[in-house]
Structure 1
Amino acid sequence: MNIHMSGHHVDITDGIREAVDSKFAKVQSHYPDLGDLSMALTVERHVQAVEVTTQFKGAPVAVHAEAQDLYAAIADAAKKLDAALAKRKGSTKSHRHSKPELVDNPDEEAIR
């Protein structure tokens, strides 16, 4: 999994990069076929935000997390991304089988 990071009012240091790699390792182990992640780190006066976007099974998945600490925002974004990918994975599995037909008359079902 490749993580592309960009910073708005923040420099991407080795410590931030290590924190991102360690927090998103769980996501990588759960979804090994996940390709690239785009991550935008934003630091404002009282709020640090992390926005992560990716493609998973043909659909875009995006999460946003804010906290007063950048490392807490990174951890929260990793948890949210894991939950969003699990939801997306479940929705693709739910359409795998055909839906049962609705029968107007219950006696017809016994005839079939």
Structure 2
Amino acid sequence: MAVPNDGAPLGSTVIQLVNKLQDIFSRVGSQSTIDLPQVAVVGSQSSGKSSVLEALVGRDFLPRGNEICTRRPLVLQLVHTPSSQTESAEFLHLPGRTFYDFSQIRSEIQ
């Protein structure tokens, strides 16, 4: 499985490769996982958890509200692209479906 390296930092290439492997494992129903650094944000309701994650990513994509907005764990792959390309995201539970509108990502999470 080739992952192009167009002068991108090694970390970007590794993330692309891991995303592809996670997609393959999901499609074949494998329980194999790849151990990567993970971020867990814990706090009471409306304490800024979404703001912390969005600050790390640099995009607004999480639902907000006075009630509980995220009711279950999810895997969302956000891939950084050169500014000349359209940003997109994919959920592990929706293989093959690509989201280009970040408001649709927010709706899917709710």
TM-score normalised by structure 2 residue count: 0.33
More helix by share: 1
| Structure whose CA Rg is larger | 1
TM-score normalised by structure 1 residue count: 0.32
